[in-house]
A = this chain, B = another copy of it.
Amino acid sequence: MAKETPCELCLHPGGEVIYRDDNYRIVLVEDERYPGFCRVIWNAHVKEMTDLATAERAILIAAVWQVEEAVREAMQPDKINVASLGNMTPHVHWHVIPRYENDAHFPNPIWGEVKRTPSSADLAKRQALVPRLRETLLARFNQSLL
């Protein structure tokens, strides 16, 4: 059987890497409408969460909750959206997205219909919180190494 083409998340980090260990990495996603959008990406090419061993799932989802907590703390969103889809890139990765009632799609998912153009002031305010998110993530994940 021919070997499959390596997938995007096997070839590329998938964003600005904030933390990486043997199992997974945490990246900040470049999306001007969604400052603070993070992904938690399993390093190995695995398609579904239930393809991982129970202990591996636990490791990955614990990281997702850590990221959710860091995003809530630093970005103060109105809601958190968490999803593992992978239809385009079937390599386990979790989206952790801070949502605001006046963001581009709210209350739709960010993949749904656009509802409004967010104000530049709001986006700038959120963008200004990203350094704090970076620090919060670094502190949480480096501490977990101790």
Contact = CB atoms under 8 A, between A and B. Distances in A.
Contacts of A112: 109, 111-112
Given A49-B68, A50-B69, A108-B111, A84 B81 contact: yes
Interface stretch (A86-94, A116-124, A138-146): A86-94
Contacts of A88: 107
A17 to B, nearest CB: 23
A104 to B, nearest CB: 12
Interface in A66-113: 68-69, 72, 79-88, 90, 99, 106-109, 111-112
Q: Is the interface of A mostly helix, strand, loop or mixed?
A: mixed
Given A49-B68, A57-B65, A84 B87 contact: no
A83 B84 contact: yes
Interface residues of A, number: 30
Interface in A37-52: 47-50
A61 interface: yes
A140 to B, nearest CB: 12
Contacts of A69: 50
7 contacts: A48-B79, A54-B65, A79-B85, A81-B87, A82-B83, A83-B85, A87-B106
Given A81-B86, A81-B87, 18 more contacts: A48-B80, A49-B80, A50-B68, A50-B69, A61-B61, A79-B85, A79-B86, A79-B87, A82-B84, A83-B85, A87-B107, A88-B107, A109-B109, A109-B111, A109-B112, A111-B111, A111-B112, A112-B112
